[in-house]
């Protein structure tokens, strides 16, 4: 018996057995998968970086299958079509969401299925020979990258526009910086004034705060006063105001007519002032000024005239009282001599009145002339008045001493004083 074995034959036999066992195992697994798996078609609307054949498929975090195929859609190059096989008991509904999850460190992608609601209907059965279709949502990483790309694009545009703006307004920017520098320098040079301004501002703020407190107190008083007003009175006041405004609105024609009359009067006044002779007005004002100056220069004489006039008035009042008393004494005993004497007395009074009237006329003429003769005439008038009053007073005293002379007649030598 030969003890040396053929190793080549043994090795070949061993390899054949292993291959057969592997094929059997593969067949066994494929047969199990084919009988217990359901295939779906997933459409991606963007890139699927990191997703390969054999990638895991998870449903609510549980592995339920794998990716069988992945290819670009020939009808739309922006889309990617993948085929997945999942367990037949996976509850995929019409509102099941599909998303692409990418591991941050390894970069390996996987599909994640999120179950829909329990009452949602299942996917619509596809046409014969086709697979049910699921549309994948953009992945969070994809959205993040897309958003970052958009942000970078916008930032680049913003920086470019800012650079263009600064380049276009370089001169204005330099002027602004110089103005800021001058302003800060002015503030530094006027530090004391700035401090005083801030102090005044603080004082003003405190005064405003005090005023605010006073306003609060006034507001409180007004609120108390308004609360004390009866609502009926407020309504009556509002109705009265409403009636007043309606009445004013009804009188707009009258107001317009009043305004027209006022304009007409203003025009007439303007024409009158225009027609006035300026020289005459100036002369009249000059005469008035000279008259007032003359009165001021002769204030002592004017005071004396007023005093004399007061004395004359007092004496006339006394004479009137005496004449009244004398007439009461003569009631019932009159004679022809008495009436004749009264006639003479009346003539004397009339003469006095005429003299006073003439002197008054002369005084008026003198005042109109604004001369010194005015004062002399007034003094003469006062002297004549005093003399006349003295004569009347003597006559009355004579009547009081001897009234029988006027009633029964008689001799008597009249006395005259000079």
Residue 307 lies inside a defined structural domain of this protein:
yes
Pairing, β 133-137 against β 97-102: parallel
Domain boundary among 142, 157, 186: 142
Q: Which long-range contacts (CB under 8 A, 24 or more apart) does 402-406 make?
A: 403/326, 403/329, 403/330, 406/337, 406/338, 406/341, 406/342
Q: Which of 350, 346, 305 is nearest to 323 (CA)?
A: 346
Cα–Cα distance measured from residue 212 to residue 415, given in angstroms and rounded to the nearest whole number: 93
- The pLDDT profile of the chain, 418 residues, written as one tens digit per residue, is 455 667 888 888 899 999 999 998 887 766 555 557 889 999 998 888 888 888 899 999 899 999 999 999 999 988 999 999 998 888 888 888 898 887 767 778 888 898 777 888 888 778 777 888 888 887 666 677 778 888 999 999 999 888 888 788 777 777 888 888 888 888 788 878 877 878 888 888 888 888 888 888 878 877 777 677 676 776 777 777 788 777 777 777 776 777 777 777 767 666 665 665 566 666 766 776 776 677 667 767 666 766 666 666 666 666 666 656 655 655 544 444 444 555 565 566 556 556 655 655 555 555 555 445 555 655 665 666 666 666 666 766 665 566 555 444 555 545 545 4
Alpha-carbon distances of 329 from 338, 392, 393, rounded to whole Å: 12, 18, 18
Cα–Cα distance measured from residue 412 to residue 94, given in angstroms and rounded to the nearest whole number: 161
Q: Which of 367, 410, 343, 357 is nearest to 388 (CA)?
A: 357
Q: How many domains does the chain have?
A: 2
What's residue 71's pLDDT?
93
What's residue 83's pLDDT?
93
Alpha-carbon distances of 162 from 159, 172, 174, 327, 399, rounded to whole Å: 5, 15, 16, 122, 126
Residue 228 lies inside a defined structural domain of this protein:
no
Residue 187 lies inside a defined structural domain of this protein:
no
Q: Per the structure block, which two tokens stand in for 410?
A: 């008689």
- Determine contact, residues 109/49, Cβ cutoff 8 Å: yes
What's residue 334's pLDDT?
46
Buried b (16+ CB within 10 A) or exposed e, 257-273: eeeeeeeeeeeeeeeee
Residue 30 lies inside a defined structural domain of this protein:
no
- Determine contact, residues 403/326, Cβ cutoff 8 Å: yes
Pairing, β 109-114 against β 97-102: antiparallel
Q: Which domain holds residue 377?
A: 277-403
Residue 182 lies inside a defined structural domain of this protein:
no
Residue 159 lies inside a defined structural domain of this protein:
no
Residue 42 lies inside a defined structural domain of this protein:
yes
- Determine contact, residues 51/82, Cβ cutoff 8 Å: yes
Domain boundary among 91, 119, 142: 142
Cα–Cα distance measured from residue 159 to residue 81, given in angstroms and rounded to the nearest whole number: 39
Cα–Cα distance measured from residue 323 to residue 343, given in angstroms and rounded to the nearest whole number: 14
Q: Which of 96, 77, 85, 74 is nearest to 41 (CA)?
A: 85
What's residue 34's pLDDT?
52
Query: What is the enclosing helix (H) or strand (E) of 99?
Result: strand 97-102
Q: Give the single-character DSSP code of 106.
A: T
Domain boundary among 142, 173, 205: 142
Cα–Cα distance measured from residue 99 to residue 60, given in angstroms and rounded to the nearest whole number: 11
Cα–Cα distance measured from residue 196 to residue 203, given in angstroms and rounded to the nearest whole number: 10
Residue 169 lies inside a defined structural domain of this protein:
no
φ, ψ at 68 (rounded to 5°)? -90, -50
Cα–Cα distance measured from residue 272 to residue 362, given in angstroms and rounded to the nearest whole number: 35
What's residue 120's pLDDT?
84
Task: Kindly give, in sequence order, each residue whose CB lies less than 8 Å from that of residue 77, ignoring residues fewer than 6 positions away.
Answer: none
- Determine contact, residues 392/348, Cβ cutoff 8 Å: yes
Q: Per the structure block, which two tokens stand in for 207?
A: 């005064």
Buried b (16+ CB within 10 A) or exposed e, 231-255: eeeeeeeeeeeeeeeeeeeeeeeee
What's residue 1's pLDDT?
44
Q: Give the single-character DSSP code of 74.
A: S
What's residue 336's pLDDT?
45
Alpha-carbon distances of 249 from 243, 261, 262, 327, rounded to whole Å: 10, 19, 20, 71
């Amino acid at each position: 018996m030969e003890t040396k074995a053929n190793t080549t034959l043994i090795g070949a036999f061993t390899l054949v057995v292993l291959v057969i066992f592997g094929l059997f195992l593969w067949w066994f697994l494929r047969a199990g998968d084919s009988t217990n798996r359901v295939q779906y078609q997933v459409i991606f609307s963007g890139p699927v970086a990191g997703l390969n054949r054999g990638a895991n498929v998870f449903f609510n975090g549980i592995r339920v299958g794998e990716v069988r195929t992945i290819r670009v859609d020939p009808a739309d190059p922006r889309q990617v079509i993948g085929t997945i096989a999942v367990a037949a008991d996976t509850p995929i509904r019409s509102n099941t969401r599909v998303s692409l999850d990418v591991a941050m460190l390894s970069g390996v992608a996987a599909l994640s299925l999120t179950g829909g609601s329990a009452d949602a209907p299942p996917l619509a059965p596809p046409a014969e020979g086709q697979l049910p279709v699921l549309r994948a949502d953009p992945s969070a990483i994809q959205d993040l990258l897309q958003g970052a790309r958009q942000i970078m694009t916008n930032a680049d545009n913003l920086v470019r526009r800012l650079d263009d703006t600064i380049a276009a307004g370089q001169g204005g920017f330099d002027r602004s910086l110089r103005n800021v520098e001058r302003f800060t320098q002015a503030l530094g040079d006027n530090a004391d004034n700035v401090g005083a301004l801030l102090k005044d501002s603080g004082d003003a703020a405190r005064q405003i705060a005090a005023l605010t407190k006073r306003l609060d107190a006034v507001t409180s008083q007004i609120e108390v006063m308004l609360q004390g007003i009866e609502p009926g009175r407020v309504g009556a006041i509002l109705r009265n105001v409403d009636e007043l405004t309606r009445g004013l609105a009804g009188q707009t024609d009258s107001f317009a007519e009043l305004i027209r009359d006022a304009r007409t009067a203003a025009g007439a006044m303007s024409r009158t002032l225009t027609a006035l002779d300026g020289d005459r007005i100036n002369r009249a004002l000059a005469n008035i000024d000279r008259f007032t100056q003359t009165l001021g220069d002769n204030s002592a004489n004017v005071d004396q005239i007023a005093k004399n006039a007061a004395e004359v008035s007092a004496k006339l009042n006394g004479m009137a009282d005496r004449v009244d008393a004398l007439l009461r004494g003569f009631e019932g005993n009159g004679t022809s001599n008495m009436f004749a004497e009264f006639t003479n007395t009346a003539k004397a009074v009339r003469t006095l009145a005429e003299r006073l009237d003439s002197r008054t006329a002369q005084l008026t003429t003198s005042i109109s002339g604004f001369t010194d003769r005015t004062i002399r005439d007034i003094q003469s008038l006062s002297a004549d008045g005093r003399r006349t009053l003295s004569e009347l007073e003597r006559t009355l005293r004579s009547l009081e001493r001897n009234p029988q002379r006027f009633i029964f007649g008689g001799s008597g030598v009249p006395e005259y004083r000079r």
